[in-house]
Structure 1
């Protein structure tokens, strides 16, 4: 009769695994789990970190969010900024990746040039865009050269947001292009060879082979770009400061203002919890979509 072995949760392998995981779990608990739990607790309180301290107020901070017109304007700004950033940040890098995936001269140099914005500091990039689009900046100088009146890019409620969107697209293109290139190289060349034999043109090959083969990559790029735009802070802080007239105030900058300018930490924590919930939903959708592959 064969021997049966009962595997205890305290056997050598399990104990070794816990020993090696413990340092990582401690760091995860201290720097991620505990801050999130404390943020959630803080969203149900009011007061400040002074001698008076904080006190429990229940759901009042969330109720204030629902009734605050400035918060809903910020939500509208954030949705506009996110959608207007995601769509070009998918289309442009995908087109560049398809072109650079072919045997072109200077392909390596072009890849590096397109990826360069991704490694530039957001603060440095923001200062550069602020200089470009100021009233006496190079962009207005170019417009004046062609006889077009100067535009108050950063002082106009209509044009200020497109400047932030343009910078975010420019910053994200390189990273997304590299991800798309990796996805394109994972598609078997035999599929394109078979399509050539069947007489499919370039557009038909792109629509029926490239896009279906890039489906997981497109989902990944969409989610990561959405998270990048949702957490945007440096662009607003450096270029517009949320103005003019709150037209470029995004959710993260709004949280910063409420917490560190108004010292309303409970209200800011409630807004941050909303941002966390949206981010977790996006991650969940990504995992669910990948699970269907």
Structure 2
């Protein structure tokens, strides 16, 4: 009875202490995450300025404007193309590098550091560098001229401008994904490879039947984080192309920025941002479900 009399107050005190420690983080989460998301949803059903005095409720009209606006669908197509074209190389190249750099050899640490540097480099600075490289009289066209090829108007062409942004994004994501794959490789027991060698499996067979299955959770994580990185890309079109030429490199986040802070159409921009948020949440949900399936017995 004594234990029963005291267990409830003690447990209650522990709960209060736990909430007291959690309160600062929960307050910050509410102010900087939950409230902005809720306010974004509210703005998407309004028109006017983002202050309460200038806002007028219009229901789903902004979403209808998105559906019938051909520019929005072009931007969605640009974003989908940019994401898919960036995703596969951003996984395949770092995975190959991780497998190579997982082996012991001279200068391995230096090479790991060198490949990781792009991940900690300012995307704006890198964008300015790429704009200089691919301008009409830049080093890339100079190299083409050196091998008797005609120069390409990279940033002025609706065909070639997007590949420049894709190459930049692949290069920027390379180091991060390589480190993620290196960490994943450490979780694969070495005795699996030793047993495969005794059974006569070659390097490709070991990679296909041991490395890839062992890296499945890591691959899912890298794919989702890379997809989110590409979906929220803003600096690339802002610094290099300005969304042009002819709207061919206008990505969704840049489109939202332009509608909100150049056109001052905050409700319309909020509706587009809500769609982006929904797509991101779907990706996160798929990642969590996939990881649960991969760890299930």
Question: Which bin holds the TM-score, normalised by the shorter protein?
Answer: over 0.9
- CA shift, 1:241, in A, is 0.3
What is the alpha-carbon distance in structure 2 between the residues aligned to residue 9 and residue 157 of structure 1? 68
Q: Kindly tell me: are residues 143 and 14 of structure 1, through their superposed partners in 2, closer, same or farther at Cα, counting changes over 3 Å?
A: same
- CA shift, 1:4, in A, is 4.4
CA shift digits 1:231-289 (9 cap, x unpaired)? 00001100000000000000000000000000000000000000000000000001111
Name the counterpart of 1:244.
245
Name the counterpart of 1:117.
118
CA shift digits 1:200-225 (9 cap, x unpaired)? 11011000000000000000000000
2:187 is the alignment partner of 1:186 = yes
Name the counterpart of 1:38.
39
- Structure-to-structure mapping, 1:84-233, within 5 angstroms: 84-233=85-234
Give structure 1 regions of 4+ aligned residues with deviation exceeding 6 angstroms. none
- Count of residues in correspondence between the two structures: 293
What is the alpha-carbon distance in structure 2 between the residues aligned to residue 282 and residue 76 of structure 1? 18
SS in 1 for 2:264: coil
What is the alpha-carbon distance in structure 2 between the residues aligned to residue 79 and residue 23 of structure 1? 38
CA shift digits 1:71-118 (9 cap, x unpaired)? 000000000000000000000000000000011210000000100000
What is the alpha-carbon distance in structure 2 between the residues aligned to residue 74 and residue 260 of structure 1? 17
SS in 1 for 2:254: helix
Contact 2:43 2:50 in 1 (8 A): no
- CA shift, 1:8, in A, is 6.5
- Give the number of the structure whose residues are more often helix, by fraction: 2
Name the counterpart of 1:274.
275
SS in 2 for 1:46: strand
- CA shift, 1:291, in A, is 1.2
Q: Kindly tell me: are residues 239 and 8 of structure 1, through their superposed partners in 2, closer, same or farther at Cα, counting changes over 3 Å?
A: farther
2:35 is the alignment partner of 1:18 = no
- CA shift, 1:185, in A, is 1.0
- State the Cα RMSD in Å: 1.6
What is the alpha-carbon distance in structure 2 between the residues aligned to residue 191 and residue 230 of structure 1? 37
- CA shift, 1:50, in A, is 7.0
SS in 1 for 2:56: strand
- CA shift, 1:196, in A, is 0.7
Q: Kindly tell me: are residues 8 and 281 of structure 1, through their superposed partners in 2, closer, same or farther at Cα, counting changes over 3 Å?
A: farther
- CA shift, 1:12, in A, is 1.3
CA shift digits 1:146-200 (9 cap, x unpaired)? 1101000000000000000000000000000000000001111000011011111
- CA shift, 1:52, in A, is 6.1
| Segment drifting more, 3-12 vs 105-114 | 3-12
SS in 2 for 1:55: strand
What is the alpha-carbon distance in structure 2 between the residues aligned to residue 168 and residue 261 of structure 1? 25
Please, what TM-score do these two structures have when normalized by structure 2? 0.96
What is the alpha-carbon distance in structure 1 between the residues aligned to residue 277 and residue 9 of structure 2? 38
